[in-house]
Chain A
Amino acid sequence: MKLPYERPTLRKLTAGALNKFGPRAGVRPVTALDGVAVGELVARFGSPLFVLSERQLRRSYQAAVRAFGTRYPRVQLAWSYKTNYLNAVCRVFHQEGAWAEVVSGMELEKALLNGVPGPHILFNGPGKRRADLERACAVDAVVHLDNADELHLLLDVAAGRPRRPRVALRVNLNAGIVPQWDRFGFNLENGEAWQALSRLVASGQLELVGLHCHIGTYILQPAAYGAAATKLAALAQRCARELHTVVQYLDLGGGFPSTNTLKGAYLPATDTVPPLDDYAEAVAGALLGAGFKTDDLPLLVLEAGRALVDEAGSLIGTVLANKRLADGRRATILDFGVNLLFTSFWYDHHISPTREFSADTEPTVLYGPLCMNIDMLRESIALPLLAPGDTVVVHKVGAYNMSQWQQFINLRPYVVLIDQAGQPHVIRAAETLEYLQQLEQVPAHLLG
């Protein structure tokens, strides 16, 4: 058999002292996703192509429920819509039992269309409009109040309604995370939150059901969640004691990391990111030790997004060209860029080839197809000697990419979901020029 051609490479010899861990740093190819060959997927749906694994979506969800549910008696996950609001993805989570956490009127409607009952929708977000609040009240969603102006607007909306709208107060607090996220909700330490709670309860027009805080994103310190839980629990107990209002749930938000490596991290995330169990241990320990009676423990709500979906998503792309830069580095141009892989601004994504190569690798700069200087996917990655037409798989791209992607220069590709039987389903068709232009209108004087 004729061996495939590989381009020659020149490298400076930098052999260090030998060690027992060996040099097997070779890149392992990924030939199939959930049992479906990458080549077959590309042949059917083209490249680039987003692939989601239903199996992994469910496994991740179940793992989160297991981590918290075996440590605390009352746990509810609310799927963070903004992380990935493709309907198929949302519905997988809702089937598993997730509520919906939405941050805009559009997401609220999406959740309703996905069959989520109003009372199971938590309406977060700092920018709710009057119409959004009216809609939320009409469908009986829970409004998470972000600021005093919103509180007054909601009081105005609530007036004259047959049932009091249910609300939770968003609280920001010092959980030991620097910088402290103080832009969402009312500050706890300076008394703003308590003032808002008093105002809210005194109004008699709103039903306080929960307290919410979101201490940040990609938080690597489980203890911070324990601190936040302790402070929220104390606030809830003060509500019961001084305002005679029983807080039914404590929402600790999201921000749990996935195992994607942050840019600039020294070690890979798989080695440094604490398991979800550590977070669960911290939160459950804090709540169980907070002094609630066993029968009065509040419901623990979590708005995990990234931790549930990131691992289930993969992006298949194709090498368009190789070139050498002026400084001698090798550069590879792929058919997807930051337009599809928004998270490459934060992560050093793990990227695998899809066929066997020799063990030789070369540090490579990965560029996307955009005619923009920012379109760089990896500054330097050791990849085998890819040739034009070779495909690669980017792993753990399920979070944010399919909601923050841009229709810029190129159209957005197919998204397929591989079900648990290994059957791919298109869950979002590739965009067409017609789709892109269907909202456009050309004034008459420009026609003809």
Chain B
Amino acid sequence: MNSYFRTILHSYAMLFFSQHRGLGALLLLVSFAHPLVGAAGLASTALAVAGARAAGFNREWTGRGAYSFNSLLTGLALASFYAPGWALAGLVTVGAGVALLLSVALGGWLGGRGLPFLSLPFVATVWLLMMGSAPLLHLPPAEANIYWLNEAYALGGPRLVAVAQWAADWPWPPLLATYLRALGSVLFQDNALAGLLVAAGLLWHSRIAFSLSVLGFLGAYGVLWLTGPAGSGPLEYNLGANYVVAAVAVGGVFVIPSAASYGWALLSVPVTVVALAAATAVLTKLGLPALSLPYCVTALLFLYVLLLRERPGAGLVLTPVQRYSPERNLYAYATDRVRLAHQGAVAFTLPFLGQWACTQGYTSGGPTHLGDWGQALDFAIADADGHTYHGAGFALSDYYAYNKPVLAPADGVVEEVIQHIEDNPIGEVNLRENWGNTVVLRHAPGLYSQLSHLRAHSVPVKPGDYVRRGDIVGTCGNSGRSPEPHLHFQVQATPYVGSRTVAYPLAYFVAEAATKPDLLPVLNPFGTTDNVYKAPGGASKALAALSNTTKPSAAIPRTPQLRHFAVPNAGDLVSPPAINRTLSQALRLPPGYALDVRNADAPTAPAQRWEVFTDAYNLTYLRCQTTGAVAYFAGDASVFYFTAFYGSEDSWLYFFYQAAYRVPLVSLPGQITRDAFPLSVVRNPALAWAQDLLAPFYRFLKPTFALEAVPDADAAWPGRPVRLRSRAAVGYFGRERATQTAELTFADGHLAALRVQRAGQEINLTCSLVGA
């Protein structure tokens, strides 16, 4: 029942593309300024919601009121146009039904094209009923709009009349009055006071939407001022809403708000003006009102052309996931663009074990990775002195890298194997068989990886074999254009040996940035043999000499960093991360996994259950069964992170969302993991509102996340608890204020405890595995 009333409020809020129930309630209230009109709207909505639920239409859309707001508009419109009576009641009932059916049908048709149906069902329904009811019902036109004070008197007595008159007589500046009446007309109210309440509600819901409504209105005012006497004609009353709503839709709801989207919204205004004039001219002859048709036409036009671009620009971005708030859309997009940039990419990992040095990176000016073949990586093993060999360095076996296992960087199928080429003696290169012994793997259609310079006859796989990430596909050798043993790794779009390269990041690896990047030996594949013969790894000698004279290398701390979706640079020392099994087991969270969460300070209180589900898009989320809050998460073998949160910000799940926003599943002592929250987590209203207004242009608030492991030797042992500390903070103008600090304890393969401190309160939660 609760969800039924929530849906009704959502239907009202949907008039401004919102799920803000406060705005919904306010609009419901305002609609009752004409009690009869309000009642018809409410009844119509109630019928549509009940119908949508009974018929079993898409639950998500039903719950958001997406199927019922057109019925709401229909009810409001019919009651404004026709006098009360049984005939009107029947008409409203039919209208609610028709609007619902049209919403579902148009939703199915336009939804498949990535477009919203807006209020087209409402326009169509009202026209249909106006044309259809005229010969059948002979309804008298409503007089309430003219004599609405009578109604007010009947409802609230002389006092309400006095208030209404006072509001009507208030010397509103004419521009403001017109704006407010335009807003009010969305609810079929010709009343500045109603408009003021709607404007307040809109501001409460979204600062961006409010600023866009003002922009749309002023734009239209400007256009009409240029074309003729301002303040008259189409700007009057209900039709003024078309500019406002079109601007909000085009500039902030269906497009991520930005300076460009504001410009786009402003551009929509003259189009709406023309559309409105044209629609009015045509429809008057048919005796039909234009209603919101001009806005629908403009908005759909402006969205559809954006959808059809071949190169979506960075300025005008169509909202990827509709969060029903321009702010939330913007903030989520701004962080997701960075955080989720590589979702869905094939996760490549380092094709070897232990620590290797990247000796040639992407087009690093190195000797061989040039032009179309520039996006490739060379690896060799170097010791602390920078040498790649021990002893004299004249024999292949002196080289650390020689004969070391080479692994499949990702799951795939072996496409090609070449392993008959003999390894070169040190210092010589084989320019005829440039790539040497090579394995090419197919990971996805159009995505191949190539591993080259392998040791002769070292490849244990054959074409057609399926390999898993980490399987050995050969050993490092010195075949082809390779003067000393090293491994060449590249990603390519075609299956041939030596295809041109594609830049493709590695999903995760641990890197120690080279403190002196230019000092690591760059292999010289041009094979100036005399040079190499005299001093094998001539560069390494130089490095050794240098490091001998420098202070102890222990004094130059190289802190290993876990890196995600990055490409190693030449000189980096890289190694695969050591996965922490406790964390990786606790945060794997397969669908169906559930935790019972209790407040440790009130152990008798009922537990909240968090359960893992998968949605229609195969995205996983945690849902709190008690509060209905939902937290989407993602990750790979090396990291767990939340991607979005919907629901109450007082729920325990929200605390967990903030506490475990990003958790590396890797043991790296002293590592601090940082991330950025979407700006919607800021709760200080003054700051947040100021930021909201400026957000499309400049964001001065920086909500940050930091996490570190509590140093504990136990953490290295599977089955022993792992403790993490995290901190959420908001930074602005160089200051930083913590909003939440948390300590997470993972034990026995699940989250065991969560201690949260926020806003002066401390909450101790304990979790237990359901069904364990």
Instruction: State the A residues within 8 Å of B (CB).
Output: 54, 58-59, 62-63, 65-66, 69-74, 95, 117-120, 140, 166, 207, 209, 246, 248, 281, 284, 288, 294, 419-421
Contacts and interface: CB of A to CB of B under 8 A. Distances in A.
Contacts of B538: none
Interface string B544-567: 000000011110000000000000
Contacts of A63: 383, 390
Interface string B258-273: 0000000000000000
B353 A71 contact: yes
A118 B713 contact: yes
Contacts of A209: 717
Interface string B711-733: 01110111110000000000000
A70 B552 contact: no
B69 interface: no
A421 B720 contact: no
A163 to B, nearest CB: 9
A209 B717 CA distance: 9
A5 B717 CA distance: 65
A444 B354 CA distance: 65
A288 B554 contact: no
A69 B353 contact: yes
Best-surrounded residue of A63, A71, A281 (most CB of chain B within 10 A): A71
A69 B354 CA distance: 5
A58 B384 CA distance: 9
A166 B719 CA distance: 11
A65 B720 CA distance: 25
Given A69-B355, A71-B405, A294-B470, A420 B383 contact: no
25 contacts: A62-B383, A62-B384, A63-B383, A65-B354, A66-B355, A66-B381, A69-B354, A70-B355, A70-B400, A70-B404, A71-B353, A71-B405, A73-B353, A73-B470, A74-B578, A118-B713, A119-B714, A119-B716, A120-B716, A140-B714, A209-B717, A248-B717, A294-B470, A294-B471, A421-B552
A119 B713 contact: yes
Contacts of A207: 719
B505 interface: no
B400 A248 contact: no
Contacts of B353: 69-73
A54 B553 CA distance: 11
B389 to A, nearest CB: 12
B718 A248 contact: yes
B356 to A, nearest CB: 7
Nearest to A74: B578
Given A70-B404, A118-B713, A119-B717, A420 B354 contact: no
A63 to B, nearest CB: 7
Contacts of B576: 73
B705 interface: no
B254 interface: no
Nearest to B402: A277
A59 B400 CA distance: 14
Interface size class of B (residues with CB under 8 A): 20 to 34
A294 B468 contact: yes
Interface string B420-449: 000000000000000000000000000000
Contacts of B554: 58, 95, 420
Given A70-B381, A118-B713, A421-B552, 4 more contacts: A62-B384, A70-B352, A71-B354, A420-B551
A419 B554 CA distance: 10
Q: Which 3 A-B pairs have the closest CB atoms?
A: A117-B713, A420-B552, A70-B354
B717 A66 contact: no
Contacts of A54: 552
Contacts of B8: none
Contacts of B751: none
Interface in B376-416: 381, 383-384, 390, 400, 403-405
A277 B641 CA distance: 40
Interface in B519-563: 551-554
Contacts of A420: 551-554
Contacts of A281: 403
Nearest to B711: A117
Contacts of B468: 294
Contacts of B390: 63
Interface of B: 352-356, 381, 383-384, 390, 400, 403-405, 468-472, 551-554, 576, 578, 712-714, 716-720
A209 B554 CA distance: 34
A59 B387 CA distance: 12
A73 B400 CA distance: 16
A343 to B, nearest CB: 24
Contact of B720 (A73, A119, A284): A119
A118 B472 CA distance: 36
B447 to A, nearest CB: 22
Contacts of B405: 70-71, 284
A71 B381 CA distance: 12
Contacts of B472: 288
A281 B475 CA distance: 12
Contacts of B720: 119
Nearest to B391: A275
Given A66-B381, A73-B353, A120 B713 contact: yes
A192 to B, nearest CB: 27
B637 to A, nearest CB: 9
Contacts of A246: 718
Nearest to A76: B716
B181 to A, nearest CB: 67
A160 to B, nearest CB: 20
Contacts of B718: 246, 248
Contacts of A166: 717
A412 B624 CA distance: 70
Contacts of A95: 554
A246 B717 CA distance: 12
A297 to B, nearest CB: 10
Contacts of B719: 207
Contacts of A288: 472
Contact of B383 (A66, A74, A248): A66
Contacts of A62: 383-384
A99 B571 CA distance: 29
Contacts of B354: 65-66, 69-71
Contacts of B469: 294
Contacts of B384: 58-59, 62
Nearest to B584: A295
A65 B573 CA distance: 15
A365 to B, nearest CB: 34
B402 to A, nearest CB: 10
A294 B718 CA distance: 16
B103 to A, nearest CB: 49
Contacts of B352: 70
A281 B353 CA distance: 13
A70 B356 contact: yes
Nearest to A209: B717
Best-surrounded residue of A66, A119, A246, A288 (most CB of chain B within 10 A): A66
B465 to A, nearest CB: 16
A140 B470 CA distance: 33
Best-surrounded residue of B353, B384, B400 (most CB of chain A within 10 A): B353
B313 to A, nearest CB: 43
A302 to B, nearest CB: 14
A420 B403 CA distance: 31
B390 to A, nearest CB: 8
Nearest to A116: B713
A69 B470 CA distance: 14
A394 to B, nearest CB: 23
A288 B407 CA distance: 13
A15 to B, nearest CB: 31
A59 B716 contact: no
A209 B718 CA distance: 9
A130 B468 CA distance: 48
Contacts of A421: 551-552
A74 B553 CA distance: 26
